[in-house]
């Protein structure tokens, strides 16, 4: 029992370390590699190094490293919440894990229908990855959602899922969908099809990046205004940016927490909407029933 208890505690410590250590390492990396700068500095993700590749070199950026840190931390969080699951004397963490699963299952069921319940793990994964990527800026890190390459990768993955579900009735049925409701709208429908991942990526990326830029600009403006109005004070009091106290924190709560969480939720909702709406459910089940009837009739013929 003691040995089991020790292993349980050791596993918990390992899972907590998986949640904390990646962000600590990312902060240390940022401090050690960020060059000193004066005034406002609004840049994209810094490039750490480049790996030579046959077709195109692989560029490793700050956004990729921070995104990897978020994924490791989320993996550790999942292991921590599901560690020691029991049927009796349920712990607080198990209550939390079950509550998350129930809410996500209900969200997917209400938005997509019972047929798509298997999408629940993917939806909570993309929702958590997006939200915590945006929240990472609260630690002073570059949020991966402020990099169009990261968000575009998610959008392309969603586009593949949309196309896969549309093709479940065959390529011909998929191509015929471009001519609906009338044939001359096919070019517009074709453009609309490939505009879906582009709009999803730029909507998410633009909202998160704009919030970060506005926060930096306001904080810098308040610092300059503080020096202008209170610079006459002697010593430390003249240099301290008193006007930066309070307002940047309030703006951070809105742009980084509320807006970041909202954009993550919107991205997940659009994913569910596009996938479920693109799936031709009636035609799919009609074809499936026809195939089963044909197979059944063939078996009866062979028996006779």
Do the Cβ atoms of 120 and 105 come closer than 8 Å?
A: yes
Tell me the pLDDT band of 287, cut-offs 50, 70 and 90: confident
The pLDDT mean for the chain works out to: 83
Query: Rounded CA gap, 20 and 29, in Å?
Result: 14
This model's pTM is above 0.75: yes
- For residues 119-133, give the mean pLDDT: 93
Mean pLDDT of 248-268: 80
pLDDT grade, residue 301 (50/70/90)?
Answer: confident
Q: Is the predicted pLDDT of residue 113 greater than 70, yes or no?
A: yes
pLDDT of 103 strictly over 90: yes
- Percent of the chain having pLDDT more than 90? 32
Please, which pLDDT band fits residue 169 given cuts at 50, 70 and 90? confident
131 has pLDDT over 70: yes
Q: Is the pLDDT of residue 247 over 50?
A: yes
Residue labelled with tokens 């004066």 = 38
Give the residue, 249 or 301, on which the prediction is more confident.
301
* C-beta of residue 260 within 8 angstroms of C-beta of residue 131: yes
The beta strand positions in the chain, using DSSP E, are: 47-51, 58-61
Cα 159 vs. chain centroid, distance in angstroms?
A: 15
DSSP 18-75: HHHHHHHHHHHHHHHHPPP--S-----PPEEEEE--SSS-EEEEHHHHHHHHHHHHHH
Question: What distance in Å separates the CA atoms of residue 203 and residue 160, rounded to the nearest whole number?
Answer: 19
Give residue 14's pLDDT: 95
Nearest in space to 136 (alpha carbons), one of 17, 260, 264: 260
Rounded Cα distance, 75 and 19, in Å? 8
Report pLDDT for 87.
84
Region 45-55 average pLDDT: 85
Taking residues 118-133, report their average pLDDT.
93
Tell me which long-range contacts 41-44 makes (C-beta under 8 A, separation of at least 24): 42/213, 42/216, 42/217, 44/146, 44/147
Task: Give 2's pLDDT tier (boundaries 50, 70, 90).
Answer: very low
Please give the C-alpha separations between residue 114 and each of 109, 159, 174, 279, in angstroms, as whole numbers.
Answer: 5, 21, 23, 13
């Amino acid at each position: 029992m003691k040995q089991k208890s020790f292993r349980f505690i050791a596993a918990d410590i390992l899972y907590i370390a998986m949640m904390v250590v990646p962000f600590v390492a990312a902060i240390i990396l940022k401090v050690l590699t960020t060059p000193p700068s004066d005034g406002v500095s609004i840049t994209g993700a810094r490039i750490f190094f480049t790996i030579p590749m046959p077709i195109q070199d692989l560029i490793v950026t700050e956004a990729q490293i921070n995104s990897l840190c978020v994924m490791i931390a989320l993996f550790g969080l999942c292991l921590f919440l599901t560690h020691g699951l029991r049927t009796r004397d349920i712990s607080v963490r198990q209550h939390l894990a079950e509550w998350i699963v129930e809410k996500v299952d209900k969200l997917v069921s209400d938005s997509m229908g019972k047929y798509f319940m298997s999408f629940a793990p993917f939806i909570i994964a993309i929702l958590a990855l997006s939200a915590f990527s945006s929240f990472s800026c609260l630690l002073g890190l570059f949020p991966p959602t402020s990099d169009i390459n990261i968000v575009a990768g998610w959008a392309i993955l969603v586009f593949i899922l949309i196309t896969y579900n549309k093709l479940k009735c065959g390529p011909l049925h998929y191509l015929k969908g471009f001519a609906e409701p009338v044939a001359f709208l096919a070019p517009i429908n074709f453009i609309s099809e490939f505009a879906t991942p582009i709009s999803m990526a730029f909507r998410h990326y633009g909202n998160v990046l704009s919030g970060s830029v506005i926060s930096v600009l306001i904080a810098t403006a308040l610092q300059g205004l503080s020096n202008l109005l209170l610079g006459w004070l002697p010593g430390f009091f003249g240099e301290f940016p008193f006007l930066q106290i309070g307002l940047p924190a309030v703006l951070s709560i809105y742009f980084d927490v509320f807006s970041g969480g909202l954009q993550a939720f919107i991205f997940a909702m659009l994913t569910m909407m596009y996938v479920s709406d693109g799936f031709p459910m009636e035609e799919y089940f009609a074809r499936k029933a026809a195939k089963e009837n044909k197979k059944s009739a063939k078996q009866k013929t062979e028996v006779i």
